[in-house]
Amino acid sequence: MSAYDTGEGIRSMTYREAMHEALHEALANDDRVFIMGEDVADYGGTYAVTKGLHEEFGRDRVRNTPLSESGFVGAGIGAALGGLRPIVEIMTVNFSLLALDQLVNTAATLLHMSGGQLNVPLVVRMTTGAGRQLAAQHSHSLEGWFAHVPGLKVIAPATAEDARWMLPSALADPNPVIIFEHSGLYNDRGPVDPNTGPVDLDRAAVRRSGSDLTIIASAGMVSKALEAADQLDKSGVSADVIDLRSLRPLDIPTLAASVARTNRALVLDEGWRTGGLSAEIAATLAEVCFWSLDAPIARLAGVEVPIPYAKHLELAAVPQVDDIVAAAGNLVRPIE
């Protein structure tokens, strides 16, 4: 994997390279850290994020597992309880459903059920999202399901820099952290500052400042929101774009401060609309920002169908840039 220096030590890296470097650093700096999952060793992971790590650190620390999510996630929980710092890779969020019992009934509950005696310092990485023609069993966005669960911290890096610097913070957390990596971002390139260091996992980031409305997004929707904001700016509409980064907990103060200034909010979610994360964000903002709103909070989410295989249908099933531009335009200049 390669990256190049853009000056002053800031390097241009792909999302994949940034995550790979973060994993390499974790393995090199802490003997308690190990990685396990399906094909993470010789094959290098489905998206090549762990490629080459087993050759340097050995198979005890980069472990291939059987095709049994419940089994190897459970093993990760046991290792965490035993004092190690496991990083468990689940190939795609759809497959995490086979480990829901371990994640929801065990990892998320042990601290509470033990009266604070048992921490589970487990990091679980998994891909999410559509856009690669992998069809319904490999392309859904189920982050909201996990964000519903007390005891789990849920994060979604949307930039190469966050892919690089969120992992150290996740590993330092004494409780389980789930990292959602959008499959469409791995080849995206961005600047990574070596001086950034571990980031606060509880804070959202304002990726663009504006005055007419707030666009709230996460993971793969952030780049689309920024592209839409560029188009809106040409038509005289100025948008704040906020990258949630953390889906649980939500950084409501940052969101509310933006909405209180712009007086309008558009919430984006690649996942389904009904009972989704966009509903939680919209309801909370309605509670805390009601008197600041000049228009109802708008939501733009995925169409409520299994993600299709056909490319044109896949594109139609999740929000695209033109959809965001239209929704934002209607919010600022409602159709009469």
Active-site positions read 69, 138
Token code pair at residue 313: 């249908």
Closest CA to 244 of 201, 212, 286: 201
Could you give the count of Cα atoms lying within 13 Å of 202 in the half-sphere of its Cβ?
Answer: 5
Instruction: Please say whether the dihedral angle defined by the alpha carbons of residues 99, 103, 105 and 106, taken in this order, is positive or negative.
Output: positive
Separate counts of helices (H) and strands (E) for the chain: 12, 15
Could you give the count of Cα atoms lying within 13 Å of 190 in the half-sphere of its Cβ?
Answer: 18
Closest CA to 129 of 317, 336, 325: 317
Coil, strand or helix at 123:
strand
57, 38 contact by CB (below 8 A)? no
DSSP code of residue 141: -
Integer Cα distance of 272 and 332 in angstroms: 24
Closest CA to 53 of 20, 98, 13: 20
194, 18 contact by CB (below 8 A)? no
Integer Cα distance of 291 and 183 in angstroms: 39
Which residues, 6 or more positions from 5, have their beta carbon under 8 angstroms from its beta carbon?
11, 12
